[in-house]
Chains A and B, each alone.
Chain A
Amino acid sequence: KNQVEQSPQSLIILEGKNCTLQCNYTVSPFSNLRWYKQDTGRGPVSLTIMTFSENTKSNGRYTATLDADTKQSSLHITASQLSDSASYICVVAGGSQGNLIFGKGTKLSVKP
């Protein structure tokens, strides 16, 4: 079964600290992996998209990594800000129909 698992479910960090969110997937065939940020009450917004040949991609203070061999990805947030408080969703495009398979998200709270 095609699945995307994220950990932790929730995370609280202090402003200015770094954090890393994890994503494991079992999706075949695999097309690409995406990280989205979803603020409360809003739709998801894309942070990065990586194909199997890319193992790192950055977007400002956000850096995503992909290990296609172990089917794992991580999202590293550097020097967190209060505005980083949101849910971060790992999404894999793939499967027989090429649809998006969504993880349940990690809820990040950044405290002052």
Chain B
Amino acid sequence: DAGITQSPRHKVTETGTPVTLRCHQTENHRYMYWYRQDPGHGLRLIHYSYGVKDTDKGEVSDGYSVSRSKTEDFLLTLESATSSQTSVYFCAISEGGHREYEAFFGQGTRLTVV
């Protein structure tokens, strides 16, 4: 899995609680991404980072925030989890932007909000 570790792999949380998912890479790639995967949808981009402290919104960013204080770590935070955020979350990395560079995906985090 191209040196990408997501943690936790599974989490069950209650509505209204904060949740942080972590993505750690050992490839020193500049770009990191958070996607969510839901039945009936293709993967959808939540947020991405193009360098330390440089982040931008994706297609479905509402209710999520991110931080990247080190090249190797990209955190996704749900400030107040809702049932609609029950999903499988994937982190991805690439050397450069998606337009030209291959993306490598982590194994995913299955989040259930009850």
Contacts and interface: CB of A to CB of B under 8 A. Distances in A.
9 contacts: A31-B100, A42-B108, A43-B106, A93-B98, A93-B99, A100-B43, A100-B103, A104-B40, A104-B41
B108 A4 contact: no
B109 to A, nearest CB: 10
B107 A42 contact: yes
B102 interface: yes
Contact of B45 (A32, A42, A99, A105): A99
Contacts of A105: 42
A41 B10 CA distance: 11
Nearest to A42: B107
B99 A98 contact: yes
B93 to A, nearest CB: 11
B37 to A, nearest CB: 9
Tier of interface size on chain A: 20 to 34
Nearest to B56: A97
Contact of A43 (B59, B100, B105): B105
B100 A103 contact: no
B42 A101 contact: yes
A89 B35 CA distance: 14
Interface in A89-111: 89, 91, 93-94, 98-105
Contacts of A91: 42
Interface in A22-67: 31-32, 34, 41-46, 49
